[in-house]
Each structure stands twice: as structure tokens, then as C-alpha cells.
Structure 1
Amino acid sequence: MSAERPTLPPVRLRTEAELARDALAAPLLARAVRLARWAGPETRVGAGGELVEAQLPAAAEHLGLTADEEGAAEASEAWRLAVDAGLVDVEDPAEAEGADGTAAAGENLALITGGSPQDVLSIWLDGLEAVHADATAPVFEDFAGLVGEDGSVDFDSLDWDPEVEAEFLDGVLGNLYLLTVGDGGADAAPVPLPALAASMIVPDDMGEPTDDILEQVSEAMMRLDDQFRVLEPIGIVEYRPVDEALLVEEGEDAAAADDEDVTRYGMVKLTPLGLYGIRARMLEAGVDAPALGDLADKGADVLLGGIAYYPETAARGEIELWLTRRGADGAAAELLAAARGTDRQAPLRRLHCQEALALVGAEAEPAVRAVLDDAELGGLARVWLAETGAADVPAPPESMIFWLAIDTIAAQLEAEGDLEELQDLVEGLAGQHSGFFGEAWRVEHPATAEVLEAMGRLHSDKKKAKEARKAAFKARSRTGA
């Protein structure tokens, strides 16, 4: 039993204010801001908006960098980001031969201190886009050899496709995002670079990787090592680079690192800011990447439908945020109304409705008692009242007991939860009534036949499993399916 599901589990993001502070603390953006404030009428730039070489020592000194090629390169990188992020406006060089362009504070510079957290994050995302492009750019070992007699650059001679490179890095970052969100979000453990590279190279159905595959993983690792070094200063990852000593050690295979040595092959972790940034890029690309709080201002119907396939902890977190925004007054009645239905997701909505009512607390009791005679909600209402210790809970009719059993299993099947837990549920429900399958096939529930078929597959007792399959056949015959 399946329906449309989110591509990724929901992520818990920090507040925009916290993320904006993280963005401003990112080393590369912080340097770009300092250079934007440093720039003035005497600042000279080249035709591409870059600082002229003569200005790089002063820029590096202003940033407290070393007075060498490395310091100049870092200053140049920070300046490029300032231009790309709109912190600096560049005026092209005059047409006169030998003239330089000029620079002045850009419109976004004032937003760094005077704008909202959203303004800061928008500027940071522009910077991330620029750094991502840098990370996927080719490395020119012999740039002069690419320049033809007419001064044009022969990019076709490079073994480089910008779309392929960008797609590969986005795939890696997407896998890292999925691993991070599925392992506790920002508190997740760092991921070994070999594992991340293998996730992009090794086919899922491959047993022992071939030598060719291992070589590809090694090449991908070294490529990712360079890219994560570029990405780290913008603040999206914490990265421990590949130990350069490995590159000269004979007999070492980067793709087959021993567990005790795996940290030497690189370790990477998305930061809270990285989770925000990668999610923003995925949303821009049309990927369904939910975040906790997305449903806080929606109706109960959108809430229960939206959390249908969330992990238990995430569903509870979203419900708590919804109740905080919505308030408990009248929430129970709204939730119960949204839980009705005969579509495939309806059993899951009722399951999450019951969880939500538990968080509403005692204030839910009047609304719950109002649906005791409802065919779809009466069983749920009785269970909730019993669990909260309420008095005067009427006994359910037998038909309601069977309907609730079918509905409960249907919800678990739709959620595709833990198979062992589902098997225990199936055997427990069937064991509570000696003639369960003799009555269950008559239940007027749209999922009756599917549930009974599943019980036949899951029940460990062969006799009971056969009874379930027969009951499923009767259910289908009764409905003409």
C-alpha cells in the first residue's frame, strides 16, 4: 500500500536568526564583508571585476593573511565573493588602454548589518552559489597551453563538462544531506569520504567492488577532497581533508581504507548552515525537501496529510509546532474532522490524529466524546479515552472492534514501518479473537482485503496464515473486486 511520499525526511533547521549569525561567521563571507568595507575610490579592478595584482598585497594585509601567494589567493577569492554577492559594485575599466576599473560599496553591504536575517541568508546563498561554481570549475595545470594564437581559450580540449561536474557535486551533497537528516540532523556523525564517494560510484546491487570501481571511487575521493576544501570556508561543511601523507605512501588504496584508518581518508559533516543551504538549493531544483515547521500555519487536514510518512519523532515535532501556533482551543475537533475519509492515507491520518490528541491533553475530551458513535472515529475515541484514564467509556460494538483492527493494520502497512513490529501487531490482533478471520472479511473498510492478504503473508502460524488468505478471498468476492 503506497502513495506519494516525500523525497526526503523532514529536517529540523535552526531559526533564521541563528542561521544568519552562522552565515556572518563563515570565514569566506566575513572576509568578503571586510574587503567590501575596505574598498574605496582608490581600489582598482580588472576587466573581470577582480582586484588588480598590485592591490592584492594590501587586501591580504587588511585581512590579516600571509604576505605570499597563498595570502594573495585567499584575498582574491574573498574579493570575488564580495562581487558575486553584491557587497561590492564594480565599474568596468575605461576603454582607454591600460585603464583600470573602480569599485564601490554594493547595495547588499548595508543589509549585512541593517537587514533582516532573511536578507543576510539571501546574500549568503548568493555566495554559496558562487562557491559551488568555483568548486566544480576545472583546474588549469597549463592554462597557457589552452590559449590559441587568437587569444581564445580552447575549452573543448579539457575533459570537463560543467553540467556533469555540477550534477556530481549536487548528488554528493544530496547524499550527505540524506545521511545527515536520517542520522539526527546537525548532531549526526561525520561521514567518511570513501563512503560518500562510493555512494555515487558503486551500484546498489554490486557485491564485491571490482578493481575498476575501486579506482573510480579513489578518483572521486580526490576530486571531492579538492571540492570540500573549497566549500568549507563558506560554512556549509566541517571537513577533515585527506591526509596528504597517504598520497606518497606505497601500497595504500584510498578506496579500501581500514576502519581504524578511515579518518585519514577524509571526514565530512554538514553544518546547521549547510543543512539550510543544501535544502534551499534542492527546493530551487524542485526537490521535495520538507522542514519541521513547514505545516505549522496550515489546517489540520494539511498537517495530518503532510506528516503521513514522517518518522515518529519528526511527526511528533511537527504536531507540537502546529499546536504551538494553532493553540489547543478547538484543535481536537479540527483534528478529528481531518481524520475522516476512505482514501488510502485516511488510516494514517487517524493514527497521527490519535497522537496529536494525546498532545492536546484533557482539553480534547469533549470533542473526542462527541465522535463516540462515529463509524470511523468511534474506536479511536474509545482508545484515547481509555489511555487517558477517562471515566464512563462505553464498550465498543463488535463491528467497531474489527473495523479498528483493520484500520490500524492498514495504517501500518501504508507507513511501511518495521516489519517485525508489524508482524507482532498482526499476530496480536488475530490472537485476541478466536474467530477473527471468520468475521474480519465482512468489515466495511476499503482496505479489508489488502489487510487480510498482508496478514496471510506475515502471520508465522501457517494455519492462521491460510485462514487470512481465505478471508481475503471472501472479502474480494463480497465487494466484487
Structure 2
Amino acid sequence: MTRADRPILPPVRLPDEAELAREALTSPLLSRAAQLAHWAESGVRVGAGGELLDADLVRAVAQLGLSDDEDGPAATAEAWCFAVDTGLMEIEEDEGVDSDGVPDDGETAVGTARAGEELALLDGGTPSDVLEIWAGGLDAVLADAATPSFESLLSGMEGAVDDAGEIDPNSIDLDALDWDPEEEGEFLDTVLANLYMLTAGDTDVAEGAMVPLPVVAASLVVPDDMREPTDEVLEEVSTVMMRLDEQFRVLTGTGLLEYDPVDDALITMEGEPEAPPLPDEEEDLTRYGQVRLTTLGLYGVRERMLGAGLQVPTVGDLSGEKAEVLLLALTDLPEPAAQAEATAWIAAREPRDAALELLDAARGDDPLAPGRRLTAQLALSVLGPEGEPALRGVLDDRHLGGLARVWLTERGAADVPPPSEELIFWLTVDTLAAQLDNEDPAGLRELVSGLSAQHSSFFEHAWQVDHPATTDVLEAVGRLHPDESLAKEARAAAERARSRTTD
């Protein structure tokens, strides 16, 4: 397995389908949609667009217990649409009625809504059935969230209203809408993917912390290599933030995410909506909105990414793989995710067998071997005392003696022989070699900076270390060490090491 074969995203821990299905059933939209579908089992008359008539809307609001909520009618209408979109309800048009010619006045019935086939699956099907129904509704809500607001649409309707006040669809200026449905859908998928990566890669977010909305917006707008965003970029971040605020409000009812909206006081200026300026460092970020994916949301976004052909692992996916595959994969994961993956892998084996397989996979002089040894140390830390015989058995092994000593010492084991000076230098080179191709050089720079404090005569001996990466490591030290005199020593040592290997 090469580095290019490794998963791109950190694995997420998901509960079983039964728990996810319970979350889906309690999400506001699906639970209300199910109530309305049962309420409509004997048939409810509907208008030209399948919507509830005014009188029945009042009864449906009461059915959901939302009569005292000023947003009750809107929430009920959303749940009704969700029920139709998911197949929990089906609309039968009256025979001989052309619904295109019926006025949408909230009073004219042209069909009947009844419980659909999916309602029985929701009530008595498998967890997979429930999740499939929920996912179908999510697709419809995501499409709605990617559609411009009515106010935005009005800007493209100038000249489309005739003398009688009717809108002529053929006169709507679609170009003026500045709306590309495909582009808007891709934008929203990118937003959800960014939230997914934040949740998978950040321990605090994975444990329930909210992500400030300005952070999400900046991740979509600010280039990775931009140190100080320009005023134009900051203005775009603010605009995107408001776009996300509108979309996240639509998505909350699906159970996909939890969202605290932007404080209305920040977006209203003399009664006119306006994107607020971004917060300064002293300001309370929670007023600018904060969001997080729920566990159900992680599942839903992961399913969408899988459908797009992406590799999206979950914790435990590697439990059936060989140790070498595990160790290579762990090198790209945040430590909590790596530890969870190692725990699942070891749990699938007898402890002694797991220890022996990990140690064997950590051997080698190939370029990826130092990284495997580093992650083997992390994976072995999960083992209990059952692993001690295997670790003691490799104390004299040049590749493994160092990590074995660390493991035994951390557990207070007796009779652990001290490492030789030769082994200390070899381990130092090996540890640095494991960091050489790290995309974030901060860890390597920190190790390099502490070299002189740990080994005052390191460069006098390091060039003689019998390790395939000795020259590369010394060259890296020469580039990164903050002390120029020591950096110069490192470069000289690298030259001596290169000459020794070419002689």
C-alpha cells in the first residue's frame, strides 16, 4: 500500500443503524411528517400543488400541537411537503381536473392526500428503511435550501407582471436571478463536506463543540496560502456567512445539524437586512451563528460523499486489514482517530497475536518504515499487559528495541535494559525521518530545535548512523534549525554522511 492509496478523510465513529434510525424518527421534519401522514390516512383534500387547504392547514397545525406557535403554519406546511417528498403521503388528482388551470387560492380542492406506501415501512420496516426514507427527504430539503429566497426571485421578475397583476413565467429574466441550480447544489455539498472534515478531524467538534459560522464561511472563501485576507475577501466571507445562515435555518428541521442563527440585531440596519461586519477578536462569536453536524448528519453527509465516489472511512474499517495497512493509514490521522482505529483493530485479535503482527509490520529499511514505527508505538499503547512478552522479545532488535523500551518503561516494567548510545542516535534519526514528508513541518521543526539540548554532540556522531535516511534527516536539520551555527554543523554532517554512503 502506497501513501497515495491511503484514505483522504479521517474515519468517523458512527453508531449502529438502529440508533441512527431512532435519531431520524425524532428529527422535527420526519416526526411531524409521520404524524401528518397518519392524520391523513382516511384522505385529506388538497389544492393544485398538493398543498393543504386553509381550513385543513389550521387543523393540521393543531394536530402537531403548534397552534400557539406563530411559525406553526409554516412549520406544518414544511412537514406536509416533507411527507409528500418522502412518499409517506401520496396525492391523487381528481379525474377530469386540469390542475394547471385551477387557481392556487388555498380554497379550491383538486385532489386527495392519503397515506403512502412508505408510511408502513417507517412504522414497521428495518432501520435501513427508515434511514432511506429520511435520506430521500433530506435530498428534497437540500434542493430547497439551494433555491433562492422569494425576495431574490423577485429581482428577476421585473417586467414579468402583466396589467392584471399576474406573473408571466415566459417574461422572467433568469439571467437576472444570478442563480445556477447545479452550482448552488455543489456549493452546499462543499459546505457540508467542510463541516464533515471539521467534525472528523477536530476532537472538540467531534465531542459536540459548535463551529462559529465565520469560520465555516472563511473555509470556503479564504485561500489556504493567504496570511492576511484583503478587505474584498473579508466582505465575501461576510456575504457567504449570510447565505449559510439562510440555508442552515432551512436544514435544521431535518436533524442534519444543530444551528444557532446569526443574531437578528447584527443583520438589521434601519429595518433593512444587511450582511454584518465580521467580528473582531474581542467579540462574542456565538452572536454570529454557530453550527455542528449531528451524528445523524455525519451519517447523511457520509452517504452523499460515498454516492459521489469518495473514500469516506469509519472507525473499524481497517480491523480486517493487515498490520502494515493499518500502520500506513494511521500516519495520516489525528491522534484520537488513530487511537480509535488501532483500538478497533486490536480488539479483533488476540492481544499477543496483535502485538507480534504490529511489531513485524514496523520492521524495515524502506522509506515508509520510520512512519510505520511511529504509528506502531501509538497502536501498541492500546495493548494491556498481555503484550509484554512480545515487546520484551524485540529489545535487541535495532528497528524495534527503542519502541519496546518506551512501551515497557511507561508501564513500570522491571529489568528494562538502558539503550546503547548507538541505539539512541539511530532512534533519533528514525524519529526525525518519520516526519520528513509531513505536510505540516511544525512537528519536525520542534524536534529539530530540541536536538542540541538532548544530544550536545549529535552532529559529531549522527553522520555515521547506519540508517537509510541519515543524509535526508541531517539536510532537513540544516534547513530548519533556528541556530545558524548548529544548522551549519548539520549541513556539514549531511555532506560527510553522503560521502560515506557513496564511497
Under TM normalisation by the shorter chain, which class is it?
Answer: 0.7 to 0.9
Whole-angstrom distance in 2 between the partners of 1:329 and 1:39 = 61
Whole-angstrom distance in 2 between the partners of 1:318 and 1:158 = 48
Q: Report deviation, 1:230.
A: 0.3
User: Structure 1 51/381 Cα, relative in aligned 2: closer, same or farther at 3 Å?
Assistant: same
User: Structure 1 119/344 Cα, relative in aligned 2: closer, same or farther at 3 Å?
Assistant: farther
1:229 maps to which residue? 249
User: Structure 1 311/186 Cα, relative in aligned 2: closer, same or farther at 3 Å?
Assistant: closer
User: Structure 1 382/256 Cα, relative in aligned 2: closer, same or farther at 3 Å?
Assistant: closer
Q: Report deviation, 1:58.
A: 3.5
2:443 maps to which residue? 418
Is 1:176 equivalent to 2:201 in the alignment?
no
1:41-99 CA deviation, whole Å, 9 max, x = no partner?
A: 52345666555666433433322333999544332321222232232344565454468
Whole-angstrom distance in 2 between the partners of 1:122 and 1:271 = 17
User: Structure 1 466/70 Cα, relative in aligned 2: closer, same or farther at 3 Å?
Assistant: closer
Is 1:353 equivalent to 2:376 in the alignment?
yes
2:264 maps to which residue? 244
1:260-307 CA deviation, whole Å, 9 max, x = no partner?
A: 354333333333332333333333334444433332343322321221
1:112 maps to which residue? 122
2:237 maps to which residue? 217
User: Structure 1 340/54 Cα, relative in aligned 2: closer, same or farther at 3 Å?
Assistant: farther
Q: Report deviation, 1:362.
A: 2.6
When normalised by structure 1's length, the TM-score is 0.84
1:32 maps to which residue? 33
1:473 maps to which residue? 495
1:341-400 CA deviation, whole Å, 9 max, x = no partner?
A: 334332121122223223223322333344445443344334434544545556666654
User: Structure 1 148/461 Cα, relative in aligned 2: closer, same or farther at 3 Å?
Assistant: closer
Residue identity in the other structure for 2:354: A
User: Structure 1 103/408 Cα, relative in aligned 2: closer, same or farther at 3 Å?
Assistant: same
Determine if contact 1:405/1:429 at 8 Å carries over to the other structure: no
Q: Report deviation, 1:14.
A: 4.3
Is 1:270 equivalent to 2:293 in the alignment?
yes
Determine if contact 2:43/2:114 at 8 Å carries over to the other structure: no
Q: Report deviation, 1:190.
A: 2.8
1:32-431 pair list within 5 angstroms: 32-45=33-46, 50-51=51-52, 55-66=56-67, 70-91=71-92, 94-97=95-98, 100-141=110-151, 142=154, 145=160, 155-181=174-200, 182-204=202-224, 205=226, 207=228, 209-210=230-231, 212-249=232-269, 254-258=276-280, 259-260=282-283, 262-390=285-413, 393=416, 400-415=423-438, 416=440, 418-419=443-444, 421-424=446-449, 426-428=451-453, 430-431=455-456
Whole-angstrom distance in 2 between the partners of 1:379 and 1:52 = 76
User: Structure 1 226/479 Cα, relative in aligned 2: closer, same or farther at 3 Å?
Assistant: same
Moved more, 304-313 or 361-370: 361-370
Q: Report deviation, 1:244.
A: 2.8
Whole-angstrom distance in 2 between the partners of 1:189 and 1:385 = 36
> How well do the aligned residues superpose, as a CA RMSD in angstroms?
3.6
Q: Secondary structure at the match of 2:87?
A: coil
Whole-angstrom distance in 1 between the partners of 2:297 and 2:447 = 36
Determine if contact 1:3/1:344 at 8 Å carries over to the other structure: no
1:425-449 CA deviation, whole Å, 9 max, x = no partner?
A: 5335543xx3x43443344433222
Whole-angstrom distance in 2 between the partners of 1:248 and 1:397 = 70
Q: Secondary structure at the match of 1:341?
A: coil
Determine if contact 2:478/2:487 at 8 Å carries over to the other structure: yes
Determine if contact 1:243/1:266 at 8 Å carries over to the other structure: yes
Determine if contact 1:348/1:414 at 8 Å carries over to the other structure: no
Moved more, 249-258 or 410-419: 249-258
Residue identity in the other structure for 1:66: S
Q: Secondary structure at the match of 1:409?
A: helix
Residue identity in the other structure for 2:67: T
Q: Secondary structure at the match of 2:192?
A: helix
Residue identity in the other structure for 2:493: A
1:172-193 CA deviation, whole Å, 9 max, x = no partner?
A: 3333334444252343533333
Whole-angstrom distance in 1 between the partners of 2:368 and 2:93 = 59
Moved more, 313-322 or 182-191: 182-191
Whole-angstrom distance in 1 between the partners of 2:203 and 2:415 = 44
Determine if contact 2:205/2:292 at 8 Å carries over to the other structure: no
Q: Secondary structure at the match of 2:384?
A: helix
Determine if contact 1:46/1:92 at 8 Å carries over to the other structure: no
Whole-angstrom distance in 2 between the partners of 1:201 and 1:305 = 32
User: Structure 1 43/477 Cα, relative in aligned 2: closer, same or farther at 3 Å?
Assistant: farther
Whole-angstrom distance in 2 between the partners of 1:156 and 1:7 = 38
Unaligned 5+ segments in structure 2 are 100-108
Moved more, 73-82 or 193-202: 193-202
Quote the sequence identity (%). Answer: 55
Residue identity in the other structure for 1:423: V
Unaligned 5+ segments in structure 1 are none
Q: Report deviation, 1:459.
A: 3.7
1:125-165 CA deviation, whole Å, 9 max, x = no partner?
A: 22222211110112234497388758797644522111221
Q: Secondary structure at the match of 1:224?
A: helix
1:445 maps to which residue? 467
Whole-angstrom distance in 1 between the partners of 2:480 and 2:170 = 71
Whole-angstrom distance in 2 between the partners of 1:16 and 1:473 = 59
User: Structure 1 385/186 Cα, relative in aligned 2: closer, same or farther at 3 Å?
Assistant: closer
User: Structure 1 46/480 Cα, relative in aligned 2: closer, same or farther at 3 Å?
Assistant: farther
Determine if contact 1:176/1:196 at 8 Å carries over to the other structure: yes
Determine if contact 1:426/1:455 at 8 Å carries over to the other structure: no
Whole-angstrom distance in 1 between the partners of 2:248 and 2:27 = 14
When normalised by structure 2's length, the TM-score is 0.81
User: Structure 1 254/448 Cα, relative in aligned 2: closer, same or farther at 3 Å?
Assistant: same
Whole-angstrom distance in 1 between the partners of 2:321 and 2:449 = 35
Moved more, 85-94 or 357-366: 85-94
Q: Secondary structure at the match of 1:255?
A: coil
Whole-angstrom distance in 2 between the partners of 1:451 and 1:84 = 60
Q: Report deviation, 1:231.
A: 0.8
Moved more, 443-452 or 408-417: 408-417
Moved more, 45-54 or 280-289: 45-54
